[in-house]
């Protein structure tokens, strides 16, 4: 192992890790009064890490535990920027609750460190350690409002089910190690191609189940609505996007590197998860009355589309990257719009409370409308393009039937977004809203502006980048 | 039967039986003590494999820290274990069936790994020339340095989490602030006020 090269490849992780420790010491001295400066420092660290990642060399470090390739770099930059927005949202949120705690931005920083280990994991231990670092930080963040019963409940549920899923994942990983004799994905692939067997598939199914829990794909989705409803909104906005992106990239890497050449043994499993997810997400969302629970079901459905991209194999990787960036921005916008809506100091949480929003707050209504139309996949908006790429990849991979099922599911899901639009534009408002907080308002406007027309610039810039990043993935 | 085999079966049986007793014992304190016994026998199995460092680690960490912590929790929390066990008989058929399925699964898969896995037939090799600790240390701090550091971050997050979720600063408790006491000057505390006779002093 060349330590110098390994250290160079892990510069983004080094920046995040070292700055997290230093900022923690700084925060411990300043106390909770220093949350603003701690947030600012964490933001600077994330920006620095994003730059370091964007300009980093490609290669493998630490005996193959760390893989830096185009996909890893693309995902890292997206995840770090998402973390930055969440720190801004969280700062305002806890300021207004008068509940400043300097650990919040540091935990976000450590969670992004975990995700960054995940997206460039080259062996089973790095997979597990990264996943655990990310989830442990998120369990704490979900329970962050410890005096709020809902938030504690969310944290506990997330923790118990997450621990169960980690158990499944570890069992699968130990079986794969037991059969193949190696932790490294490349070695595992070499063994699997030479000696296919039921035992390895057994391990693989457990591993996929564990990861499916983390991305909340049906039938492992049951924790999602409760956690989304109870956890603080900035945390949910984070948990709905970046960790799932990291886990999906990880899943794609395990399957396409570790089980390269045995696609037939995992493709059906992923397709089953995918179809179940968009059906459960589409149908489950119809009955929801709470805005955040609705978004939880929407996220389950969207994980189905992402899994479809993974099932499509090599051609789906670029689609996966583009899909997740656009999806993360849409969810960020919707959750910050929800944060911006308050009535008599209480957050607007039920969908029927959105009634008549057009008469109260026109800009936010337009933002929510654009974002909702985007998530349901209306043509010129970003959500349409994300689905377009995924279905395109699926058709290219010969998965016609599944792409058609996905289209049907997205038509079902369209209904509940249309219900929100009808309430906002055509119903009578019950009473006035509080003034919307600036940062939540602007992040949701910015996301809406990204959904259209920003997406055109994004695709013009990022389409080639994503295509190039995906070349050579999985070998 | 060699002495090794006798020792193995003895300790393996001890591990299994005490594991069973952990879940069936009526008194929770006895459960924890059986847990400690099963850890001890598992440590004995490690010694048989020649991994004496792992054996000691198991005793120090699991018996010394984890099990004792369980013991404290069991004794300090007022949990009515008989109440918790109320539905035992009703759920026994389903739970038992699931347990048997998982047990069979584990047995089959473990046999398959032992017979067909990459390491099938290879006994662990250890040499007297290098001690266990040295071999583990060499691997841990070179080959797995990156993962070792990341595991450290996982523990850091656990520590931050425990503090964030449980530590409360009590504002109603009066604490001694030595800096404020030492830097307090006479003029901050004492004032000379001219007082007229027959009238009080106003602030």
Contacts of A103 in chain B (CB under 8 A): 160, 163-164
Tokens of B88: 């035992």
Residue of B103, B109, B149, B162 to mutate, interface with A, max A Cβ within 10 Å: B109
Residue A293 to residue A150: CA distance in whole angstroms: 13
Q: Is A381 inside a domain boundary?
A: yes
Residue A299 included in any domain:
yes
Return the residue matching tokens 């059986």.
B34
Contact A181 B118 (CB under 8 A): yes
- Chain B residues closer than 8 Å to A110 by CB: 153, 156-157, 160
Question: Would you say residue A26 lies in a domain?
Answer: no
CB A213 within 8 A of CB A83: no
Q: Is A333 helix (H, G, I), strand (E, B) or coil?
A: helix
- Half-sphere exposure of residue A233, counting CA atoms within 13 Å on the CB side? 27
Q: Is residue B65 within a helix (H) or strand (E), and if so which, with residue range? A: none
Q: Give me the interface pTM, i.e. the ipTM.
A: 0.93
Using a CB–CB cutoff of 8 Å, tell me whether A125 touches chain B: yes
The answer to whether B192 faces chain A, any CB pair under 8 Å, is no
Place of tokens 């018996």: B63
- How many CB atoms within 10 Å of residue A146? 17
Domain enclosing residue A277, as ranges? 269-475
- Mutate which of B110, B112, B157, B171 to disrupt the A interface (most A C-beta within 10 Å)? B157
The pLDDT score that the predictor gives to residue A163 is 93
Whole-number Å distance between alpha carbons of B28 and B39? 17
Collect all residues of chain A within an 8 Å Cβ-Cβ radius of residue B113.
Answer: 175, 178-179, 199
Of A49, A53, A145, the residue nearest A90 (C-alpha): A145
Alpha-carbon span B60 to A401, nearest angstrom:
57
pLDDT for position A264: 83
pLDDT of res. A344: 82
Is the C-alpha dihedral spanning B128, B130, B134, B135 positive or negative?
negative
A451 vs A368: CA distance, rounded Å: 11
Tell how far CA A438 is from the center of its chain: 25
Q: What's the whole-model pTM score?
A: 0.90
**Yes or no, beta carbons of B113 and A179 under 8 Å apart:** yes
CA distances from A387 to A71, A79, A243, A334, A465 (A): 19, 20, 20, 18, 18
> Rounded distance, CA A109 to CA B38, Å?
40
Q: DSSP letters of A386-402? A: HHHHHHHHHHHTT-HHH
Burial grade of B125 (CB within 10 A; 0-12, 13-18, 19 or more)? exposed
* pLDDT at site A142: 94
Q: Where is pLDDT greater, at B188 or A121?
A: A121
Residue B164 touches partner A, C-beta closer than 8 Å: yes
Q: Which two tokens stand for residue B160?
A: 């931050």
Residues B86-104 have a mean pLDDT of 87
pLDDT of B146 reads 93
Residue A422 maps to a domain: yes
> How many Å lie between the alpha carbon of A47 and the closest alpha carbon of chain B?
20
| Mean pLDDT per 10-residue segment, chain A (475 residues) | 85 95 94 89 96 91 90 94 94 88 94 95 94 95 91 93 93 89 89 84 91 91 92 93 94 90 86 92 87 92 92 88 93 91 84 85 90 86 90 89 88 86 86 84 90 86 86 72
- Give the integer Cα–Cα distance in Å for A270 and A309: 10
Task: Tell me the chain B residues in contact with residue A167 when contact means C-beta distances shorter than 8 Å.
Answer: none
Q: Is the pLDDT of residue B125 over 70?
A: no
Tell me if A379 is assigned to some domain: yes
CA A379 to chain centre: 23
**Does residue A17 belong to any structural domain of this protein?**
no
Asked if the model's pLDDT at residue B18 lies above 80, the reply is yes
Share of residues in chain B with pLDDT > 70 (%): 94
A199/B contact by beta carbon, under 8 A? yes
CB distance from B113 to chain A under 8 Å? yes
B160/A103 touch (CB, cutoff 8 Å), yes or no: yes
Please tell me the total count of domains within chain A.
1
Give the closest of A1, A133, A146 to B157, CB-based.
A133
A163 touches chain B (CB under 8 A): no
Closest by Cβ to A110, choosing from B142, B145, B153: B153
- What is the model's pLDDT at position A129? 96
Is A408 in contact with A456 (CB distance < 8 Å)? no
Quote the pLDDT of residue B123: 65
Contact A115, A79 (CB under 8 A): yes
d(CA A136, CA A112): 12
In a domain, A459, yes or no: yes
The rounded distance, in Å, linking the Cα atoms of A187 and A33 is: 51
Kindly state the greatest CA–CA separation across chain B.
108
How far, in Å, are A167, A268, A442, B55, B126 from residue B3 at the CA level? 36, 50, 75, 19, 19
Residues 6+ positions from B158 with CB-CB distance below 8 Å: A136
Please state whether B123 falls in left (phi above 0), alpha (psi between -120 and 50) or beta: beta
Above 80 in pLDDT, residue B126?
no
Q: Which residue has the higher pLDDT, B117 or A167?
A: A167
Domain-located, residue A140: no
Which residue, among A14, A27, A62, would best test binding to B if mutated, counting the most B CBs under 10 Å from its CB? Answer: A62
Is residue B181 less than 8 Å (CB to CB) from chain A? no
CB contact under 8 A, B160 and A136: no
Looking at residue B124, what DSSP letter applies? Answer: P
Residues of A in contact with B165 (CB under 8 A): 140, 143, 146, 155
Q: Which chain A positions have a beta carbon within 8 Å of B161's beta carbon?
A: 107, 136-137, 139-140
Give the Cβ contact number of residue A306 at 10 Å. 28
Q: Give yes or no for a cis peptide into A219 (omega within 30° of 0).
A: yes
Instruction: With H, G, I as helix, E, B as strand and everything else as coil, classify residue B152.
Output: helix
Residues of chain A positioned with their CB less than 8 A from the CB of B145: 62
B202 CA: distance to closest CA in chain A (Å): 37
Which residue of B lies nearest to A110 if distances are taken between CA atoms?
B157
Work out the minimum CA distance from B144 to partner chain A, whole angstroms. Answer: 7
Q: Enumerate residues 6+ apart whose C-beta is below 8 A from A241.
A: A82, A324, A327, A328, A331, A332
């Amino acid at each position: 192992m060349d330590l110098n090269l390994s250290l160079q490849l892990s510069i983004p992780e080094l920046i995040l890790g070292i700055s997290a420790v230093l900022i923690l010491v700084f925060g411990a001295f300043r106390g909770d009064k220093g949350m603003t400066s701690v947030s600012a420092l964490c933001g600077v660290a994330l920006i620095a890490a994003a730059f370091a990642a964007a300009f980093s060399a490609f290669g493998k470090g630490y005996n193959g535990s760390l893989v830096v390739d185009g996909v890893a770099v693309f995902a890292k930059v997206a995840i770090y920027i998402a973390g930055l927005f969440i720190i801004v949202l969280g700062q305002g949120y806890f300021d207004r609750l008068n509940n400043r705690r300097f650990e919040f931005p540091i935990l976000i920083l450590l969670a992004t460190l975990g995700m960054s280990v995940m997206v460039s994991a080259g062996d089973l231990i790095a997979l597990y350690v990264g996943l655990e670092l990310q989830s442990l930080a998120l369990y704490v963040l979900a329970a962050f409002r410890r005096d709020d019963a809902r938030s504690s409940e969310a944290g506990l549920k997330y923790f118990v089910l997450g621990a169960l899923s980690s158990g499944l994942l570890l069992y699968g990983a130990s079986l794969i190690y037991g059969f193949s004799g190696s932790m490294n994905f490349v070695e595992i692939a070499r063994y699997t191609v030479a000696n296919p067997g039921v035992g390895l598939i057994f391990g693989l199914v457990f591993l996929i189940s564990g990861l499916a829990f983390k991305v909340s794909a049906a039938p492992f989705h049951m924790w999602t609505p409760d956690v989304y409803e109870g956890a603080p909104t900035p945390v949910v906005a984070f948990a709905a996007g970046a960790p799932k992106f990291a886990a999906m990239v990880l899943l794609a890497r395990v399957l396409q590197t570790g089980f390269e050449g045995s696609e037939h043994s995992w493709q059906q499993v992923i397709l089953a998860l995918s179809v179940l997810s968009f059906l459960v997400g589409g149908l489950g969302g119809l009955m929801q009355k709470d805005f955040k629970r609705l978004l939880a079901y929407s996220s389950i459905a969207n994980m189905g589309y992402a899994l479809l991209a993974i099932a499509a194999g090599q051609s789906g990787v670029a689609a996966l990257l583009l899909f997740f960036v656009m999806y993360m921005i849409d969810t960020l916008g919707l959750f910050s719009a929800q944060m911006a809506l308050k009535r008599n100091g209480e957050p607007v949480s039920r969908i029927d409370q959105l009634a008549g929003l057009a008469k109260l707050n026109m800009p936010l209504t337009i933002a929510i409308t654009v974002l909702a139309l985007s998530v349901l996949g209306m043509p010129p908006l970003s959500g349409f393009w994300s689905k377009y790429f995924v279905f395109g990849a699926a058709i290219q991979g010969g998965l016609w039937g599944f792409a058609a099922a996905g289209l049907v599911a997205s038509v079902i899901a369209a209904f509940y977004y249309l219900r929100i639009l009808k309430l906002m534009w055509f119903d009578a408002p019950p009473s006035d809203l509080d003034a919307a907080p600036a940062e939540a308002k602007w992040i949701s406007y910015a996301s809406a502006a990204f959904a259209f027309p920003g997406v055109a610039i994004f695709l013009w810039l990022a389409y080639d980048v994503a295509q190039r990043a995906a070349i050579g993935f999985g070998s | 039967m060699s002495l090794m085999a006798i020792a193995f079966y003895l300790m393996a049986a001890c591990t299994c039986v005490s594991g069973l007793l952990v879940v069936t014992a009526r008194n929770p304190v006895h459960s924890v003590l059986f847990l400690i016994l099963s850890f001890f026998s598992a440590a004995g199995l490690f010694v048989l494999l020649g991994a004496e460092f792992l054996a000691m680690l198991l005793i120090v960490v699991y018996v010394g820290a984890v099990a004792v912590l369980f013991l404290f929790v069991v004794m300090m929390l007022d949990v009515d274990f008989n109440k918790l066990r109320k539905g035992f008989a009703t759920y026994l058929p389903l739970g038992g069936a699931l347990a048997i399925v998982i047990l069979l699964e584990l047995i089959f898969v473990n046999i398959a790994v032992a017979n067909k896995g990459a390491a099938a037939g290879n006994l662990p090799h250890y040499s007297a020339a290098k001690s266990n600790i040295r071999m583990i240390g060499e691997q841990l701090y070179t080959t797995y340095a990156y993962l070792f550091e990341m595991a450290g971050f996982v523990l850091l997050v656990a520590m931050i989490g425990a503090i964030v979720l449980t530590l409360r600063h009590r504002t109603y408790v009066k604490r001694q602030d030595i800096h404020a006491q030492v830097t307090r000057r006479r003029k901050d505390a004492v004032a000379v006020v001219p007082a007229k006779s027959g009238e009080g002093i106003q602030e």
